[in-house]
Structure 1
Amino acid sequence: MAILRVALDLPLHRLFDYRSDGASPADVGRRVRVPFGRGEKLGIVVEVVGHSDWPLEQLKAAGPLLDDLPPLPQDFFALADFASSYYQAPLGEVLLSALPAGLKRLDPPDRRAGRASKAKAAGALPELTAEQRTAIDALAVDGGFSANLLFGVTGSGKTEVYLRLVDKALTLGRQVLLLVPEINLTPQLEARVRSRFPARNVVALHSELAEAARERHWRAAFAGEADIVLGTRLAVFTPMPRLGLIVVDEEHDASFKQQDGMRYSARDLAVVRARQRGVPVLLGSATPSLETWANAQAGRYALQTLKERANREASLPAVDILDTRRLILREGVADPLVVAIRERLARGEQSLVFLNRRGYAPVLACPACGWVSRCQRCAANLVLHTADRRLRCHHCGFEHRIPRACPTCGNQDIHPFGRGTQRVEEWLQKEFPEARILRVDRDSVKSRKQWEAVLERIHGGEADILIGTQMLAKGHDFPKLTLVGVLGADSALFAADWRAPERLFAQLMQVAGRAGRAELKGRVIVQTQYPDHPLFAALVAQDYPGFAAVQLKEREQAGFPPYAFQAVLRAEAPAMADAIAFLETAAALPVIGEHDAVMLYDPVPMRMARLASLERGQLLAESFSRPALQAFLPRWREAIEALKAPAKLRWHLEVDPLEF
């Protein structure tokens, strides 16, 4: 009689023992059906032992071991173990969340074989710059583990460096994992990868894929049949027996951090996985995260720099800071920007008006009584969307029809305040009736097919003026785009979030990089009421190293990451008093006194204090030693789990948080 130790997808930090006839250690890594409560669950066998701490007669018999998939490999378990330990997530949750949905079903549907996609072979390879050759030569694909940062200005040819290194790895018979932050970056890069390697099996893994396709691609990677896996953050866990290289594009992007469920950083796990497998990992960005930049400056990551654009006819765009304090704005747009757009229209070039706020206006308000369109479920305002005549919360999804009059006083003269992409689009259509205007945001582009159609229109020259959010800010190459105008950047300058300057600078540098990527000269106009702010001086000089040096010095003085290490305990409940009381109890647990190197701050409401009808509080734990914090967290979590919390209260721990 063997005992199966099984991991289940439950919010419990424990494994479950089941009796099994005929199981052996070779079955570790297999999926198994097991009875649980009054039903059944699908679990993963993590150990086969001969003895259990529970009496044998109390153990339930396991169901059948599923044999449609070979056992999951040891390196998959090693990465899951690390993620479970570091991020304080149950092992079962880590293991099961890393599998495609079809492999987690008790009764998976029959799958039909998919059609292999074909790609046209690319033409002659582009000529490399001296900087690109140096970067490629510096990274030894067959030299074991190394962590590398490729810091290159926008348009410097980072993707070409990736592809040359991918070719090196493929020549050695290895597989390559290429991670991108968002789905909308996938189609363009996937097409380029397929055309470069038409004879290779390239698969994509992201949430836009149909369930059957995602499972099929995952199986191909697991079996070693896929040569290149291109995916978003969850793809970091994909088993690949011949893995030889990991590339993380736009490594600074916050989308690599999972914000619900198992909260992890795919970028950081990519480095861990590369170390475990003894392969190189390459992080690429024009605006690296300050944590990555600090690692490179300290010599923990090898740094390769691309200072010039790959196209010899292209140059970095000129950046102009437009002081709007003495200018009249029409729907947020200053006349010098209007003139610049008109000049591009006359020359047949494209312009981009960047405003990272979708909808028509951020709020609808009554000037008579002060009523504003607040969300009933969140500590946020409902955003006005005129296209479908709705007020919509961008946090919880709650929506309501636009009222004909003020709900409080009956005043019919209610007004939108502020502006979003829809409102600016409406004004641009009136100002430039002859122009073809295309708005690109989450409201107008909701699927991969829509995104591909939008890209085709832009590349085909079917749009003269683009108005868009951060969807257009990174990873795209539009040869006819020569002007970028930035609206509404000031709101992030004085945000309570200490990461806001880093995010704003990265966003502005990325969107500025869309201009002038071919032979045509580019120009960037940033409207601001604070033209003397140091961030804009660094932007004009396009001096990321200088900006990063100032930011890192400030963080070191303040004791912020990367010079300190943080975890946050969050609690949410129908009443804020319950959430704060729970956090206060957690802050007074005896185990805290045994860890002098860890400091706990007072419980406070989160910045978004109410979300989806739940009040949210948080408690920050901080240490100047990562090992000290990691030694503290499991003991603290175990003590918190023993607390008796209100029935409707939910809590979780997040390590290395990005948002507060």
Structure 2
Amino acid sequence: MSLLNAQALVRVALPVPLRREFDYLCPLPLPAPGCRVAVPFGNRAMTALVLSHPTDSSIDTAKLKAVNSILDSVPLLAAAELKFLAWAAQYYLYATGEVYFQALPALLRKGEAATYRPATVWHIVDQSAELPKHAIKQQQALTALHQGPLSQSELQVRGVSSTTLNALAKKNLIEKREQVPHLSDWRNTPWQVTEQDKHRLTTEQALAVSLIQGTHGFSPFLLEGITGSGKTEVYLQVMEAVLAAGQQVLVLVPEIGLTPQTITRFQQRFSLPICTLHSGMNERERLDAWLSCRDGSSAIVIGTRSALLTPFARLGLIIIDEEHDTSFKQQEGFRYHARDLALLRAHQLDIPIVLGSATPCFESLHNAAQGKYQHLTLSQRPGSATVAEHLLLDSKNVQMHAGLSPQLIELMTHELSQGNQVMLFLNRRGYAPALLCHGCGWLADCERCDAHFTWHQHPSRLHCHHCDHQRPLPPACPNCGSTQLIGTGLGTEQVEQAISGLFPQYATIRIDRDNTRRKGSFEKHLEGIRNGQYQILIGTQMLAKGHHFPDVTLVAILDADGALFASDFRATERFAQLYIQVAGRAGRASKPGRVVLQTHQPDHALLQDLTHQGYQHFAHSALKERHFAQLPPYSFQALFRARANNASLVQHFLQQLATQLQPHLSPHVLCLGPISAQMERRAGEYRYQLLLQSSQRRELASACRLALAIIDTQAEARKVRWSLDIDPVELF
């Protein structure tokens, strides 16, 4: 069919939950693939991404709508990025348009221009100004600004505070100006490596650096190093060669809390532009950082999982720190795993990728054993640092004081008296996991979940950690009227209160999600710990990952028994990883460390294996069990989840799917369920799941596509909220 004059077809992706693309008429000249256009969709206008220029359409041209406007003159995403995102959508069987738009910052999704905002920067007014010798901070600021104008955030990375800048401004030595960021090509400007910050490499580190630098093209490395063994130093020295070649480096970290210390370490080493990408940034900051990655003006990019979807001008190396961490798996919407997609992207770009961890996930260890990854190990800590001593404390028949045994209190007293720091780990925030009536046994249950309210004291409230519902603490039992309401179980608030009574002479800091919500508070707490402001540290998992506290000589895990009997087959793997990570905070410098684990099961095989043989031996034994049971990584899984306010609706939907799917399944595919989630009701919704498992990935993918086709014909699918999770890491 002929097109209207001076118009042709464009095929676009839209951020809608449909696994298809859409055709529109567009005026000539056509925007290139990767550009955005504004289009009518239903009764609203939407931003779309151009994918191709088809010569014909399956829809009558007369019925096609026209593009409202063209938003970009040059592509936002190059052909290689479009191909990468298309593959990701196909692998995870997710709506193609939504995957493409995951790679764009929110402002670009809304149709905003892909331009930098003018930045406020500090300039030197008087180049010849001299300061008194005692004004060290001000001299440091002027030295930094002599190299060129810098923003306040860039100066803060260099240790210059806003107080120092304001003091210099009052003296009319510096001033603020607005300017569009000058995107000079850092490859053509002199930059240096801070040699005094370099550490002398151990033999193992030197071998790892040599092997990674000696590769050409795609090559995955699994860098397994005990905590404190210097994995970061290996990263830095490998990065040096990549940066010297004018290429960019992407460093993925599992959580926002790890980015400030990573930035500081990298900034101290390289005088190069570094940017961050994470969910804590506002929309404008995110767009500016995204543009600097795409344009190549950022040499090093440090970010959480979504940073992987960002376009790069010249990406030459990908590093995934703490590669085992489940935070790399997106649990809502587009459920991708950043580690797995990073391997695909490195393969597509033909560049090396380094997966680093003290406790690699079983999938990575399995791939290394099969020769898919080159396995590098760091088994020693550099310098005089020694591996911590491990100690199991039997909690049976022991009089505990807020979760602390007399033996642990004695060990704490000794370490504190020596001027050292002590860390207590408990992965339960609040004062107590449940509120109980001592008179009749009533428990404060959340009305919307199959769970108890957690009792918090500061501020006083009951809080469900599953649906976020909160309510005031009742003055009396609603069942019998008794005022004898008591907490059962242990939370970080309760431990903090007990410690204040036991050790009033020592400063205590509690770090969990409740007291680190304010922006910058987490970094401020960490700085206080490193400066020796606090002697006793109490925390949840936030304190376990990647932090370097040289004065911590005793780490105690207060309660680990729950993980030993969990129903999820991955529970022991995660506990072992967490235990090693927590243990790694002890004795990281010249001081010897000790790790204490309180348990009612001191003879449990897992604990004995971990404390006496280490993670590698435990993982080897556990992988044998997985192989015998044909569980991942020896099989592949896909999980259909469904939820609704009516339990029978969800059950019927999944049962109908299983019934229609079963006769068409290959003998290599198991269909298990439907069954209820471990917590059947959450936030007022009933949750069920259907698991598909196969030893052959291709067979599993075929089964999932067939299941999706069946769902498209089901009327019940519109009455429930359902999702498909390929390679799930959690079975809810």
Task: State the TM bucket, normalised to the shorter chain.
Answer: over 0.9
**Are the aligned partners of 2:508 and 2:535 in contact in 1 as well (CA < 8 Å)?**
yes
Q: How does 1:126-275 map to 2 (within 5 A)?
A: 126-140=199-213, 143-198=216-271, 200-275=272-347
Change (3 A) 1:111 1:244: closer
Shift of 1:290: 0.5
Structure 1 residues 343-364: Cα deviation after superposition (integer angstroms, max 9, x where no partner):
1221111000100111110011
Shift of 1:298: 1.4
Question: 1:610 and 2:681 equivalent?
Answer: yes
Q: Does 474-483 or 448-457 show the bigger shift?
A: 448-457
Partner residue in 2 for 1:490: 561
Structure 1 residues 579-615: Cα deviation after superposition (integer angstroms, max 9, x where no partner):
0110011112257515332110120001121122111
What amino acid sits opposite 1:22 in the alignment?
Answer: L
Structure 1 residues 118-148: Cα deviation after superposition (integer angstroms, max 9, x where no partner):
4548534111111100000011366000111
Q: Does 248-257 or 380-389 show the bigger shift?
A: 380-389
Shift of 1:4: 1.4
**Are the aligned partners of 1:592 and 1:636 in contact in 2 as well (CA < 8 Å)?**
no
**Are the aligned partners of 2:197 and 2:269 in contact in 1 as well (CA < 8 Å)?**
no
Shift of 1:270: 0.6
Partner residue in 1 for 2:452: 381
CA distance in 2, matches of 1:548, 1:354: 23
Partner residue in 1 for 2:707: 636
CA distance in 1, matches of 2:305, 2:118: 26
Partner residue in 2 for 1:321: 392
Change (3 A) 1:368 1:622: same
Q: How does 1:56-135 map to 2 (within 5 A)?
A: 56-67=61-72, 70-107=75-112, 112-114=117-119, 116=151, 117-118=154-155, 119-120=157-158, 122=194, 123-135=196-208
Shift of 1:393: 1.2
Partner residue in 2 for 1:566: 637
TM-score (norm 1): 0.97
Shift of 1:46: 1.0
What amino acid sits opposite 2:568 in the alignment?
Answer: D
Question: 1:296 and 2:368 equivalent?
Answer: yes
Question: 1:455 and 2:460 equivalent?
Answer: no
Change (3 A) 1:215 1:109: closer
CA distance in 2, matches of 1:107, 1:279: 33
**Are the aligned partners of 1:591 and 1:639 in contact in 2 as well (CA < 8 Å)?**
no
Correspondent of 1:50 among 51, 55, 61: 55
Paired residue secondary structure (1:521): coil
Question: 1:371 and 2:453 equivalent?
Answer: no
Q: Does 62-71 or 484-493 show the bigger shift?
A: 62-71
Paired residue secondary structure (2:316): strand
CA distance in 1, matches of 2:292, 2:215: 23
Q: How does 1:303-318 map to 2 (within 5 A)?
A: 303-310=375-382, 312-318=383-389
Shift of 1:633: 1.6
Aligned Cα RMSD in Å? 1.6
Partner residue in 1 for 2:354: 282
Q: Does 280-289 or 319-328 show the bigger shift?
A: 319-328
Partner residue in 1 for 2:3: none
**Are the aligned partners of 2:10 and 2:52 in contact in 1 as well (CA < 8 Å)?**
yes
TM-score (norm 2): 0.88
Shift of 1:635: 2.5
CA distance in 2, matches of 1:136, 1:107: 43
Question: 1:11 and 2:83 equivalent?
Answer: no
**Are the aligned partners of 1:556 and 1:563 in contact in 2 as well (CA < 8 Å)?**
yes
CA distance in 2, matches of 1:581, 1:368: 42
Shift of 1:426: 0.3
Partner residue in 2 for 1:433: 504
Shift of 1:549: 0.9
Question: 1:509 and 2:580 equivalent?
Answer: yes
Partner residue in 2 for 1:584: 655
Question: 1:31 and 2:36 equivalent?
Answer: yes
Paired residue secondary structure (1:325): coil
Paired residue secondary structure (1:602): strand
Structure 1 residues 189-210: Cα deviation after superposition (integer angstroms, max 9, x where no partner):
1111112112x11110001112
CA distance in 2, matches of 1:216, 1:403: 49
Structure 1 residues 45-84: Cα deviation after superposition (integer angstroms, max 9, x where no partner):
1111121100111111112121276341112112211211
Paired residue secondary structure (1:443): helix
CA distance in 2, matches of 1:642, 1:113: 51
Partner residue in 2 for 1:394: 465
CA distance in 2, matches of 1:646, 1:6: 26
Question: 1:474 and 2:545 equivalent?
Answer: yes
Shift of 1:162: 0.5
Higher RCO, Cα 8 Å, sep 6+: 1
What amino acid sits opposite 2:515 in the alignment?
Answer: S
Structure 2 residue ranges without an equivalent (≥5): 1-6, 122-150, 159-192
CA distance in 2, matches of 1:15, 1:109: 23
Change (3 A) 1:44 1:432: same
Paired residues, number: 657
Paired residue secondary structure (1:378): coil
Partner residue in 1 for 2:162: none
Correspondent of 2:618 among 539, 547, 559: 547
- Aligned-pair identity in percent equals 42
What amino acid sits opposite 1:630 in the alignment?
Answer: A
**Are the aligned partners of 2:108 and 2:114 in contact in 1 as well (CA < 8 Å)?**
no
**Are the aligned partners of 1:141 and 1:279 in contact in 2 as well (CA < 8 Å)?**
no
What amino acid sits opposite 1:337 in the alignment?
Answer: L
What amino acid sits opposite 1:236 in the alignment?
Answer: L
Paired residue secondary structure (1:645): helix
Shift of 1:394: 1.1
Structure 1 residues 368-401: Cα deviation after superposition (integer angstroms, max 9, x where no partner):
3332121122222111111011111111111111
CA distance in 2, matches of 1:167, 1:109: 31
Q: Does 3-12 or 259-268 show the bigger shift?
A: 3-12
Shift of 1:457: 0.1
Partner residue in 2 for 1:335: 406
**Are the aligned partners of 1:147 and 1:280 in contact in 2 as well (CA < 8 Å)?**
yes
What amino acid sits opposite 1:125 in the alignment?
Answer: K
**Are the aligned partners of 2:428 and 2:540 in contact in 1 as well (CA < 8 Å)?**
yes
CA distance in 1, matches of 2:390, 2:203: 26
**Are the aligned partners of 1:578 and 1:646 in contact in 2 as well (CA < 8 Å)?**
no
Shift of 1:6: 1.1
CA distance in 1, matches of 2:661, 2:357: 44
Partner residue in 2 for 1:556: 627
**Are the aligned partners of 1:151 and 1:304 in contact in 2 as well (CA < 8 Å)?**
yes
**Are the aligned partners of 2:37 and 2:72 in contact in 1 as well (CA < 8 Å)?**
no
**Are the aligned partners of 1:568 and 1:657 in contact in 2 as well (CA < 8 Å)?**
yes
Q: Does 461-470 or 104-113 show the bigger shift?
A: 104-113
Change (3 A) 1:571 1:286: same
**Are the aligned partners of 1:141 and 1:168 in contact in 2 as well (CA < 8 Å)?**
no
Larger Rg: 2
